[in-house]
């Protein structure tokens, strides 16, 4: 009698066991080994685009400094979708080994679910109309995993891909770069008016070309321990537009210090070449507040050399115009004032940028300062004040 009662249960147990084996086999086959990776905690994950991984993207967007190191160490070399790639898991920081229950995970468990898209996102620009003239994230202001600089640190390869070197031709025919610019779409670079017009024409020469996709200006190919980036692109200048009221008021230094440069052919976007977002591409971004951290990058004075070969970056605080030691108008903004942290000679025309939850946007253009890194803020052209002028001068 007991044997008859147990027989159906044994059959049911065998059926469950067989089903479990089939299910586990199915999961194992469906898990793409080519994307398998281990994060810094030793937890298994998938090597995918940072834009598809909500955990790592959240660290970068929120600039949680204690976890940035974890995000950087989560990079992986061979993923899918748009670079950079990260080993995506539920982890948002370093954990103790005991927190991982002392086990290596062969396949993700039910409680180890993490968010990623099932479809890869290749880094190609979709057909655009107005968005081609004024790109939206993630085409503009791409976020890096690491995401004239005085006292700054060297940027990562491919970081700040909108930065360009403006090349002037001297009387002897040599090309020199003493200013920077910022790609805003496939044909236009935003820069400072004083990088185009005035003393620079007399002392240096005429602007003739733009160099983009560069990191170290003294090396033909830029590499690090993870590989090399594509060589720089050089484009000739087709047209220059300096604001018509640049330096129109002698009582306000470098007033309306802004200009647009149109290239002779289309700028090809890549992992190391991309536009910066204009502020109106991110309408949800609130106004600047005193003390908010902004970032400036370039090849300028770093405290030891007038011009640096490698791209540098530094964070500076926003300073309200009302307490800025310089005489300003509303179309200018003030930032900096920390010792040995400043924009400087050679950074002119570069962008003062702000990291939003969706990408980087340009808030200012490097205009001038009084000394470098001497606890006196530098002055930038406030880009928000010139959006109508930019829109009226940018054409397909």
Active site residues: 194, 257, 348
Tokens of 242: 């300096």
- Residue 114, H or E segment: none
**Chain center to CA of 315:** 14
Tokens of 355: 């990291």
CB within 8 Å of 273: residues ≥ 6 apart:
161, 183, 212, 213, 233, 267
Which among 167, 177, 181, 194 has a CA at the least distance from the CA of 332?
194
Distance (Å, whole) CA 206 – CA 237: 10
- The DSSP bridge pattern shows strands 332-336 and 233-242 to be unpaired
Contact 172, 196 (CB under 8 A): no
Contact 14, 8 (CB under 8 A): no
Question: What SS3 state is found at 325?
Answer: coil
Which among 20, 25, 13, 158 has a CA at the least distance from the CA of 85?
158
**Chain center to CA of 125:** 17
- What is the distance in angstroms between the CA of the first residue and the CA of the last residue of the chain? 87
Which among 320, 361, 371, 368 has a CA at the least distance from the CA of 341?
371
| Bridge partner residues of 115 (DSSP) | none
Tokens of 98: 């005991």
- The DSSP bridge pattern shows strands 206-212 and 188-191 to be unpaired
Letter string b/e over residues 119-138, b meaning 16 or more CB atoms within 10 A of that residue's CB: eeeebeeeeeeeeebbbbbb
CB within 8 Å of 337: residues ≥ 6 apart:
316, 317, 319, 375, 376, 377
Distance (Å, whole) CA 227 – CA 157: 10
């Amino acid at each position: 009698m007991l044997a008859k009662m147990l027989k159906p249960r044994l059959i049911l147990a065998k059926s469950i066991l067989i089903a479990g084996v089939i299910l586990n086999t199915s999961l194992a086959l469906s898990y793409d080994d080519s994307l398998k990776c281990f994060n810094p905690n030793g937890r298994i994950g998938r090597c995918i685009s940072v834009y598809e991984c909500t955990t790592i993207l959240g660290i970068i967007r929120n600039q949680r400094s204690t976890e940035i190191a974890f995000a950087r160490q989560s990079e992986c070399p061979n993923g899918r979708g748009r670079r950079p790639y990260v080993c995506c898991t539920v982890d948002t920081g370093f954990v103790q080994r005991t927190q991982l229950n002392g086990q290596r995970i062969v396949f993700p468990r039910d409680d180890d679910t993490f968010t990623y898209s099932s479809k890869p996102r290749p880094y190609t620009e979709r057909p655009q109309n107005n968005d081609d003239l004024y790109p939206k994230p993630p085409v503009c202001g791409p976020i890096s995993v690491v995401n004239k600089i005085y006292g700054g640190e060297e940027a990562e390869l491919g970081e700040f891909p909108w930065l360009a070197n403006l090349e002037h031709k001297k009387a002897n025919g040599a090309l020199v770069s003493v200013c920077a610019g910022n790609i805003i779409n496939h044909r236009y670079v935003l820069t400072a008016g004083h990088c185009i017009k005035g003393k620079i024409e007399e002392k240096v020469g005429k602007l003739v070309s733009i160099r983009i996709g560069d990191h170290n200006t003294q090396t033909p190919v830029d590499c690090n321990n993870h590989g090399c980036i594509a060589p720089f692109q050089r484009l000739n200048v087709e047209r220059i537009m300096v604001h018509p009221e640049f330096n129109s008021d002698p009582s306000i230094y470098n007033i309306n210090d802004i200009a647009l440069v149109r290239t002779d052919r289309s700028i090809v976007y890549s992992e190391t070449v991309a536009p910066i977002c204009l502020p109106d591409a991110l309408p949800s971004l609130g106004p600047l507040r005193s003390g908010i951290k902004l970032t400036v990058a370039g090849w300028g004075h770093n405290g030891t050399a007038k011009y640096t070969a490698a791209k540098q970056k530094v964070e500076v605080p926003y300073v309200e115009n009302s307490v800025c030691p310089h005489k300003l108008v509303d179309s200018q903004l003030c930032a900096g004032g920390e010792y040995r942290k400043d924009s400087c000679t050679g950074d002119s025309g570069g962008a003062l940028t702000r990291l939003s939850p969706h990408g980087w946007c340009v808030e200012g253009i490097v205009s001038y300062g009084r000394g470098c890194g001497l606890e006196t803020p530098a002055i930038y052209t406030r880009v928000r004040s010139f959006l109508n002028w930019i829109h009226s001068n940018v054409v397909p």
